[in-house]
Structure 1
Amino acid sequence: MSFRLRRLSLEEMDRAAIILRTSFDERLPWLAGLHTPAEDRAYFRQRVFSECEVWGALDEEIVGLIAFRTDWIDQLYVLPFWQGQGAGEALLQVAKGAASSLQLWTFQKNTLARRFYEKRGFVLVNETDGSDNEEREPDALYRWSRG
């Protein structure tokens, strides 16, 4: 399936927050409800949009997003219905095209995400007990380098 890719605007951050929450709650149900929708919107508007390039995959509407900055992917979420159809891969290529190396965190229990990144050249470099993240959930640091 093909998607249009484009950089998202501040006005689209509310939709980005919905994509994050829908995907997060579907794939990580034990962490559902950690933030309210208003907190998610504020986070995307005030932090993500100001610190990252935010790109979307669009069909009729935004179905996935990636937020990245120098050397880091901060967010990569695709609505559950659209997962496995190429949106995540297309978004990841945007970030890879802008960097020579990237790092990202994902939760250790998120086996679908871990498999997704590993298939695309990311290598596990560290695992933690989660004591340093907001969710207190064991996580995994991955790194990718061009070439």
Structure 2
Amino acid sequence: MPAPFTLRRLSLDDMDRAALIHRTAFDQRLPWLAGLHTPEEDRAFFRNQVFAECQVWGALAEEIVGFIAFWEGWVDQLYVLPQHQGKGAGAVLLALAKAASAELQLWTFQRNLPARRFYERQGFVAVRETDGSGNEEREPDVLYRWRRGG
């Protein structure tokens, strides 16, 4: 049974924690891309883009263990600390974004098989793959789409 999580909207006061969760989860799942950005660059990205453009919500189990950043129709970020993955935090965060939109899209890397399996279990369907030439990491990615009611 998934662990219970409290959800709350995050503020700029939570930015450092969100950036740390992002970097920790990203580097563990995608070690070949680790070190692409410094912690300072991560924090600037979260301050100037993620928190400025998205609703950012956290899953708390005593402390923030995961977060989602989304806007109408798009999931921009969804990361959960590795030791909390598989316990339901990602699913409850994604359900929050689904409740706010009739359709969602998101990108993930083709090689991130655990993320791909997770999104597919949540009803997302792969609709497009790229060679990665259009993203900063130059890593082949895949666009997923979810629509309410199938």
- TM tier relative to shorter chain: over 0.9
Q: Which residue of 2 aligns with 1:130?
A: 132
Counterpart check, 1:43 vs 2:54? no
> Quick one: distance in 2 between partners of 1:64 and 1:72?
18
Q: Which residue of 2 aligns with 1:99?
A: 101
Q: Which residue of 1 aligns with 2:6?
A: 4
Match for 2:85: what amino acid? Q
User: TM-score w.r.t. structure 1 length?
Assistant: 0.99
| Unmatched tracts of structure 1, length 5 or more | none
Please list the CA deviations of residues 51-101 of structure 1 after superposition, one character each: whole Å capped at 9, or x if unmatched.
000000001110000000111000000000000000000100100000000
| Unmatched tracts of structure 2, length 5 or more | none
Match for 2:46: what amino acid? F
User: TM-score w.r.t. structure 2 length?
Assistant: 0.97
Identity of aligned residues (%): 71
Match for 1:127: what amino acid? E
Please list the CA deviations of residues 110-144 of structure 1 after superposition, one character each: whole Å capped at 9, or x if unmatched.
00000000011000000000000000000000000
Match for 2:49: what amino acid? R
RMSD: 0.4
Question: Does the residue aligned with 2:24 lie in a helix, a strand or coil?
Answer: helix
Work out the number of aligned pairs and report it.
147
Match for 2:28: what amino acid? E
